[in-house]
Chain A
Amino acid sequence: MLIRHFWDKFWEKTLAALALVAVLTLGGIFLLLLTNSWKAFSHISLSEFFSAAAWNPAAYETPTFGIGAMLWSTLLVTLGAMAIGVPLGLGTAAFMSELAPARLRNLLKPAVEMLAAVPSVVIGFLGIVLVGPFLARVFHLPNGLNALNGAILLAVMSLPTLVSIAEDAIHAVPKAYKEASYALGATRWETLLRVTLPSCRSGLIAAIMLGMGRAIGETMTVLMATGNATAMPNGFFDPVRTLTATVAIEMGETPQGTTHFYALFACALTLFVITLLINVAAERLAASYRKKGQ
């Protein structure tokens, strides 16, 4: 009896320690980013870092460390991806959980989830050889390496997250709601639009935000397909260079301990804070719909 009790306690503590590893890792990453970014700001003023447009740390004459253009590029690509991905993802989710026959759903769901298994280099490659030339032809552009290309690819990459979470949310709507709606004479379309979707709104918003978090942090795909010009983009047809791409391109070449090195940490910290805020907001919303669903 005592021995059984001991093992019970032992495994409980071991699993708790394992769970703590993830939390400690997150805390450690945050601390590392913070201490290294701190050093950057002894050379760069905060206002220059966030508001100046020009990022040219290895300039011919005076280096400049402004992330304005990159921040705008990141937002442009992410919002573009959401504009494409949200209708597509929510539409797919609604179709799958409400309208599709069971056999079709059993085919669709794993297919969408498989999209998450495609490596980002492969998607980036498709951006260069397929989406880029297509955009250039359709919009009569000199080339297709621009923000729109990145947005399309990121929309595809955020689909699995979007669809999967949105489908769960729609699925969690109590059957009684729908039955009541049908009893009042509403059609399936009216029920979906006026009853089902509004009653899982917070879950859908959580799906959108997690999809956005996925898109904002993606690196390889945008690095390959968006042209990486450092100029401030004027729209979706201009090449862009995102924060993630900048860190990925420059981290390897930068001697440790230089202002440039620390400035890259500051870029990473900015990105980390943005995704953290998005994820926290999404978690809160998701929690609220889970409670409501029960």
Chain B
Amino acid sequence: MWTGLLLLLLACTGRRVETLVIKGSDTEVNAVLQLAERYMELDSAVSISITGGGSGVGIAALLNGKIHLANSSRELNSHELQYAEQHGLRIVPHILAADALVIITHPSVGLDSLDMTQLAGLFAGDVSDWQALGARSGPVSLYGRQSNSGTFMYFRDKVLGRDFSPTLKQMNGTAQIIEAVRNDPGAIGYVGLGYVTEPDGSPRQGIRVLGIVPAGQTSAISPLHRDNLTQGRYPLLRPLYQFTIGEAQGRLRAFLDFEQSAEGRRIIEGNGYLPVEKGTFVTKGVDEVDKRGL
């Protein structure tokens, strides 16, 4: 209602301000916020409001017609696709950047790497004691995000391929996962790459970032080496999406273009994500989405 009043006031003064409403992924919210702040400096005729809440929250709001752009760290699920189809909504995916999902443990677990099968076994609840993986004996304590998180869904669908163990502690945000892992000697959790390094790029104290052995290979790939990410060797790389209903037009299009400009990419990189060139490994995600008839 206040936005309405504000618009009315501005309309009276003869200046037209267009409002864009963006909502969704907590993983993306900081980066998109910075992009929007910079964009609003460049174009004073637009006002952009951004909130988090999780990918599912953003997609639900987009489908219900409440927002213009949904940030999402996952693709649409079958229920959402079905809902869009029934209501004649054409959802168009855009790729903001790529994010690496990082597996962290408490240092006293003593492991340096895991392969994909071990990782899935841990989070699905097959392994309850670290001894089974050749580490120091002690209970495994699983940390993850809540089910409204795109990270939760990505990890479940792409790494586990089945349900999480019901003993997974579902934390409110990534910062909470890191805090919990730091304090729990048997802890393992998954977080976004942007959260495991200090602003100066050095790894955070009190947690250990694990290397991951891709399926069918023998050596572990660490996400802390930039080449492993840019060349697509690290197995837990995922695209960060933004969805619109129909092709983006006008100011929304201009904002999306700004995100992929040289300046936009610098901001994205500053948040710990990888800017994406068209035609690299991540665009595969778009094609897959297209194939599913989005």
Contacts and interface: CB of A to CB of B under 8 A. Distances in A.
A54 B125 CA distance: 15
B166 A231 contact: yes
B141 A253 contact: no
Interface of A: prevailing SS: loop
A128 B186 contact: no
26 contacts: A54-B166, A56-B163, A56-B166, A58-B153, A60-B160, A60-B161, A133-B183, A136-B183, A136-B184, A142-B138, A142-B139, A142-B187, A143-B183, A145-B169, A223-B172, A229-B167, A229-B168, A229-B170, A230-B168, A231-B166, A249-B147, A250-B148, A253-B147, A254-B60, A255-B80, A255-B83
Contact of A241 (B80, B156, B170, B186): B170
A230 B170 CA distance: 9
Contacts of A256: 60, 64
Nearest to B77: A58
Contacts of A231: 165-167
B31 to A, nearest CB: 21
Contacts of B53: 252-253
A174 B164 CA distance: 60
Contact of B60 (A56, A60, A252): A252
Contacts of B171: 228
A253 B60 contact: yes
A256 B184 CA distance: 38
Nearest to A249: B146
Nearest to B80: A255
Given A58-B147, A128-B176, A253-B147, A229 B169 contact: yes
Interface string A124-160: 0000110011001000001101000000000000000
Contacts of A56: 163, 166
Contact of A59 (B139, B163, B167, B180): B163
Interface of B: 53-54, 56-57, 60, 63-64, 77, 79-80, 83, 138-139, 141, 146-148, 153, 156-157, 160-163, 165-172, 176, 179-180, 183-187
A145 B185 CA distance: 14
A239 interface: yes
B148 A228 contact: no
Given A60-B163, A228-B171, A142 B156 contact: no
Contact of B170 (A132, A143, A227, A253): A227
A258 interface: yes
Interface in A51-70: 54, 56, 58-61
B79 A239 contact: no
A142 B138 CA distance: 9
Contacts of A255: 60, 63-64, 79-80, 83
B187 A249 contact: no
B156 A60 contact: yes
A143 B180 contact: yes
Interface of B: prevailing SS: mixed
Contacts of B56: 252-254
Interface in A205-228: 223-224, 227-228
A247 to B, nearest CB: 12
A255 B57 CA distance: 9
A230 B163 CA distance: 12
Kindly name the residue among B63, B79, B147 whose own CB sees the greatest number of chain A CB atoms within 10 A: B147
Contacts of B54: 252-253
A128 B184 contact: no
Contacts of A249: 146-148, 170
B83 A227 contact: no
A143 to B, nearest CB: 4
Interface in A239-294: 239, 241, 249-250, 252-256, 258
Contacts of B163: 56, 59-61
B26 to A, nearest CB: 12
A60 B169 contact: no
Nearest to A141: B184
A143 B146 contact: no
Contacts of A230: 166, 168, 170
Nearest to B157: A60
Nearest to B56: A253
Contacts of B77: 58
A218 B64 CA distance: 29
A223 B23 CA distance: 22
Contacts of A228: 146, 169-171
